Structure 1
């Protein structure tokens, strides 16, 4: 290759290729920026119309993936690559990946069903897939929970949809389950009246459903009183701990003895 041919190559093919590479980089940067803007505008519009945040994030992720694929295909078309054959290749690869990642696709499908059925939303306190926590985000393949000990936990949507789901935030009030073990000799009727009066004064205990204080059981230690106040889910642990403290305080003020197992002795004389 002589100098004139090399110079001609640089002035035509190499220069054209360099321009295409630079243009592709510019298209990628600008395209990514535009995709971010479009997704952000869509999510902002849905937020102004009070659309469920779970649905907003989910649709935003789907739109971002679709626009990024369209951007890549557009850049390949600019380089002169036949995108139809590339799309066919992508479809074939999708089938192979789908067979290998059937679990991931199952998670994706389960996420779509959960958006339709709406068993919970962002901010709800739930128990799903063996994990209990507050829903932080519903993603394409997994749901993110923040557990009560402040640990970010991801649970696959497929596992959630196939398992039992409990939504503690769906109803306006939740029952706190506590018991008071009394000693033998303590009048359970008087104890029920004292505990009912004291527990009803705990902050954030709701009037409806009504507070339940009743004789639950009898054992060797004495009567067992069920103490069951109701409260909103966000006040659950405050009412839980305050109920424990109230039971101890009422027992101390009433002078109830500590419960101890009753011992029955029987003497059998030899005949």
Structure 2
């Protein structure tokens, strides 16, 4: 009987503690779920606010990610505190673990640092068409925390580590408002003057070619087969592809038509 009484007293003393801990655990779970949901919603709201305020669309996703993880970390600390866990020792342990992880993930940290430098100096922005080393080429969609998202011309998504873009030369085809077209083609010596005149006529007939800087037609080089003629003209960046394609389509057929003997 004495042992049974002691067991009953133990159960009676444990039940309130279990109930209190269960309530704390339930509250901590609710706080965790609410914090995770709030972090995502707040990040989306911040991104939308940055875009509506006219901020850099390239930096907006990174700002949203930073806000989201900041709220999540605060939520985890609050949850641990509600469970009675001393967060001071955990923060110290996380600091030591962070140092070890940082040494092991030097490449990842380089990508983060490179992403911050890309956003700070902005050699390109969302919507710019760029080319990097190797096969890197596409329209910038987003500069993320670890990689940059490019959309290739064939519709394929390309994700490039930020450090690779930061440490290598990048050509930005969209940064300047104008761009120079250069078209060169081979003619015989007898076709030099007719060819130059044809280029001048094409320039005069194309309203999208800018008058300043002035377009140029010239004999670029002489070869064993004749001469190489070149046209150099400036257009608005958005018109580059269309105007160059139109010039290439028109030059050769009209030049060959001029060379045909008159009957």
How high is the TM-score relative to the length of structure 1?
Answer: 0.84
Of the three residues 147, 153, 158, the one matched with 1:148 is: 153
Q: Distance in 1 between matches of 2:239 and 2:14?
A: 73
Q: Distance in 2 between matches of 1:251 and 1:216?
A: 17
- Conserved? CA contact 2:215–2:233, under 8 Å: yes
Q: How does 1:90-239 map to 2 (within 5 A)?
A: 90-130=94-134, 131-186=136-191, 188-202=192-206, 204-239=208-243
- Conserved? CA contact 1:183–1:256, under 8 Å: no
Q: Which residue of 2 aligns with 1:42?
A: 46
Assess, with a 3 A threshold, how the Cα gap between structure 1 residues 4 and 204 changes in structure 2: closer, same or farther.
farther
How high is the TM-score relative to the length of structure 2?
Answer: 0.87
Q: Distance in 2 between matches of 1:28 and 1:208?
A: 62
In terms of fraction of residues, the more helix-rich structure is 2
Assess, with a 3 A threshold, how the Cα gap between structure 1 residues 214 and 6 changes in structure 2: closer, same or farther.
farther
Q: Which runs of 5+ in 2 are unaligned?
A: none
Q: Which moved more, 1:29-38 or 1:155-164?
A: 29-38
Q: CA RMSD in A?
A: 2.4
- Conserved? CA contact 1:58–1:138, under 8 Å: yes
Q: How does 1:19-34 map to 2 (within 5 A)?
A: 19-34=23-38
Q: Distance in 2 between matches of 1:30 and 1:207?
A: 61
Aligned length: 256
- Conserved? CA contact 2:198–2:255, under 8 Å: no
Assess, with a 3 A threshold, how the Cα gap between structure 1 residues 37 and 184 changes in structure 2: closer, same or farther.
same
